[in-house]
Chain A
Amino acid sequence: AQTVTQSQPEMSVQEAETVTLSCTYDTSENNYYLFWYKQPPSRQMILVIRQEAYKQQNATENRFSVNFQKAAKSFSLKISDSQLGDTAMYFCAFMKHRTDKLIFGTGTRLQVFP
C-alpha cells in the first residue's frame, strides 16, 4: 500500500523569503503522479503543482517549484518570495497511474509573517 509522509506539522517563514516543505512517499509502483495542494482557512482544496513520475524535470508554477527525487521517493515543495496569502495547510498527495484515488499526507501548516 502507498503511504505519504509529511514530517513537518508546522512551518513559518517571513514574507519574501523562501521556504521548503518536505514530503516522502512509499510505493512499489513505477508510474504515478504527485501533487501539492493548498488548503487556506476557507477550506477550499487548491491544486498548487503536479509532477509525473516518468518526467525527470522538476515541475514549476510561478513561485512554486518541486524537488522530485524518484530514487529517494522524495517530493519537496519550494515556495519562493513567500506572500501573506500563502498562509495555509499544504498537503502532499500521491496517485497511482490509472487509478482514481489520491492518497494524502497529514499536511504542513505554513504561516507567513510580515
Chain B
Amino acid sequence: NAGVMQNPRHLVRRRGQEARLRCSPMKGHSHVYWYRQLPEEGLKFMVYLQKENIIDESGMPKERFSAEFPKEGPSILRIQQVVRGDSAAYFCASSRSRDENYGYTFGSGTRLTVV
C-alpha cells in the first residue's frame, strides 16, 4: 500500500525554465492538496484539487503557477519561467474524501532549486 508518491525528489532548473512536479495520491484517494515550504518556514497551502477539478486555488500565485489532476495519471504542479524565489520544497497530500480532518497523508516532497 504505497503512500503518496512525489517525483522527482530533487529538481534543478535554470531561471526561465519550466518545472513540473508530479504527485500520485494514495490508492483510493481522489483529493489532492499542494503545499509549499520555503526555507526555515512552515508549509503553506497552495491548491486543492479533485479529479479534473480545481476546488480551491486561493494559495496559488496568480501568475506562472498552475495545477491539474486529470482523470488518469498523477496530479501535476507546473511552474513556468521559474525564478530564484520559487526555490522551495513542494509537498503533496491526499485524502479519500473532503473534510476528513485527520490531517491528510503527505508525500516526501520535491525540492526545487532554481539556479
- Is the CB–CB distance between B59 and A43 below 8 Å? no
Report the Cα distance A42→B91, complex, angstroms: 13
Report the Cα distance A33→B104, complex, angstroms: 12
Interfacial residues of chain A within 69-113, with CB under 8 A of chain B in the complex? 91, 93, 95, 97-107
- Is the CB–CB distance between B56 and A47 below 8 Å? no
Asked whether B43 is an interface residue with its Cβ less than 8 Å from the other chain, the reply is yes
- Is the CB–CB distance between A43 and B103 below 8 Å? no
For A99, list chain B residues within 8 Å (CB): 99
- Other-chain contact of A106, B41, B102, B108 (Cβ < 8 Å): B41
Q: How many residues of A contact B (CB 8 A)?
A: 26
Q: How many residues of B contact A (CB 8 A)?
A: 26
For A16, list chain B residues within 8 Å (CB): none
Report the Cα distance A93→B103, complex, angstroms: 9
- Other-chain contact of A43, B35, B40, B89 (Cβ < 8 Å): B89
- Is the CB–CB distance between B108 and A104 below 8 Å? no
Report the Cα distance A104→B106, complex, angstroms: 14
A43-B108, A100-B48, A101-B56 known; A91 and B103 CB under 8 Å?
no
Report the Cα distance A47→B93, complex, angstroms: 12
- Is the CB–CB distance between A104 and B101 below 8 Å? no
